[in-house]
Structures are given as structure tokens and as C-alpha cells.
Amino acid sequence: MSPNHALPRRVIARLDIKGPNLVKGIHLEGLRVIVAPDGHARRYYEQGADELLFIDIVASLYGRNNLADIVQQTAAEVFVPMTVGGGVRSVDDVYRLLRAGADKVAINTAAIARPGLIQEASRLFGNQCIVLSIEAMKQPDGRWEAYTDNGRERTGVDAVAWAKQAVELGAGEVLVTSVDKEGTRKGFDLDLVAELGPVLGVPVIACGGAGNATHLQEALGAGADAVAVASILHYNTLTVGDCKTALAEAGFEVRM
């Protein structure tokens, strides 16, 4: 069991951003515009979200992250930690987002291209600020391959081995999104969570597939330290408070 399980489990609201809009897809594709993100961020904060996760989902495609303004605006009225990712390619990008108000920065594509970026960023800003983001897809041979560019590009990199390497380089947290499950509301990839959660020694955030409170319980039971949820909040299936109440009733320690 992860040593982090001594801490309360977290419910994190994930907001995928494209331009000025909050969007939601299935398998990270077929994006549907929901609304401007600021009202949702404030609502999830008021509902008791432990953290907010902002991902610029087209940043790697266009080679830039455009979330600094949104982060700055949100930080003025939302007082929980914020993780921001998408298109982070350098320590300068990390610094810019931290300065805008992010507490942590998630890195995916650039870290696979140059793993030393994880080490450089963690040395400069502290490993608690650096989150490895993995977009994983299960392959016919049973292993999980890491994808980049919002699940568009294959890398040939084994996702589990890469997570372990990145933690050794200084990643202080791992966000693992199952591309197969994302947006389906059919539950998390529990086998993938079980491969990572109990062994990495840093917090693991499970993302992709939450459709009900039972799915959250299953992910935490498989070894996740936190769950990141999107659809069930965006479409008012559950509130953050509903999620936490269900987890508490199932025996998980949460911040109420």
C-alpha cells in the first residue's frame, strides 16, 4: 500500500480547456464545448473539491500553453491547489505557470521526449510541484503504452516503466489517464491503477472513466491516492460533496 494512504484521499475536479472553453470528450476525442471554465472552477471549489486540474488539451498540438490567464483569474477566487498541464516544454514554462498561480505543473509530451526535464524542474521548483502526466492505452499484449499529444501519438514507451523512471528523476506525483476509459463513464482502468498505486511511492491520481461513486471507491481501493473526475461533475450527475460522502461511507478518509 502506498505510504500516502495515511493521508486523506482527494477528489480532484478536472477541467479540459480548448481556447476559452471548457470541453469534454470521449477517449480524449470528439470534444464537446460545455461553457467558459471560470464558473465551473468556482462551483467545484465551493462544493469542496480538494484540488483543480486544468489541462490545455491542444497545447502540445500548437506548441504552447495558453492557461496562464485562466489560472491567474481562478487563483484570485479559488483557494485550493491547482495543477496545470498541456504544452509544458521547458523550465521557463513551468515557472510561468507557477507564477500565474498554479501550485503544480503536469508534464507529459516534453518529458517523454527529454526525461531530463523532470529532473531539472524538480531541482528548481521542488518535486512537490512536478506532476508526471501519463496518457495510457492498453495494447493487445496486455501492457500499457504511453501516448502524447492528448492521446493522439504513440510513443512505444511502456507506461508503467516510464512512471517508475520519472519518479526516480524527481516527479512528485503521477496523474494517469486511461485513454481507453476516458469519457466513457464505465469505470477506471483498475488494473492500470493497481500496477502503479501500490509501488511508486508518490501519490497516484487515477483519471478517466468515472461514472458513479462506486467507480471512485474502486479506484481508491485499487491503490490510487486521488481521483480526478470531470463528466460526472460537468453534467451534474454528482457533486463533489456527493463523491466525498460516498467515499466516507465506504470507509475512505476524505476532507469533508
pLDDT digits 0-9 by tens, 164-222: 999 999 999 999 999 999 888 999 999 999 999 999 999 999 999 999 999 999 999 99
Residue 4 covered by a domain: no
Count the Cβ atoms, other than its own, within 10 Å of residue 166: 26
**CB-count burial class (<10 Å; 0-12, 13-18, 19+) for 196:** buried
Predicted confidence (pLDDT) at residue 30 exceeds the cutoff of 60: no
Angle between helices 68-75 and 37-47 (to 10 degrees): 40
Per-residue pLDDT tens over the stretch 87-124? 899 999 999 999 999 999 999 999 999 999 999 999 99
State the pLDDT confidence band at 151, using cuts at 50, 70 and 90: confident
How many CA within 13 A on the CB side of residue 87? Answer: 20
Predicted confidence (pLDDT) at residue 11 exceeds the cutoff of 90: yes
Per-residue pLDDT tens over the stretch 227-250? 999 999 988 999 999 999 999 999
Beta bridge partners of 106: 85, 131
Mean pLDDT of all residues in 73-77: 92
Active site residues: 16, 135
Domain count across the chain: 1
Residue 2 covered by a domain: no
Residue 254 covered by a domain: no
Residue 195 covered by a domain: yes
Among 65, 115, 63, 110, CA closest to 86: 65
User: In this structure, what CATH number is given to the domain that contains residue 62?
Assistant: 3.20.20.70
Owning domain of residue 193:
9-249
Chain-centroid distance, C-alpha 221: 18
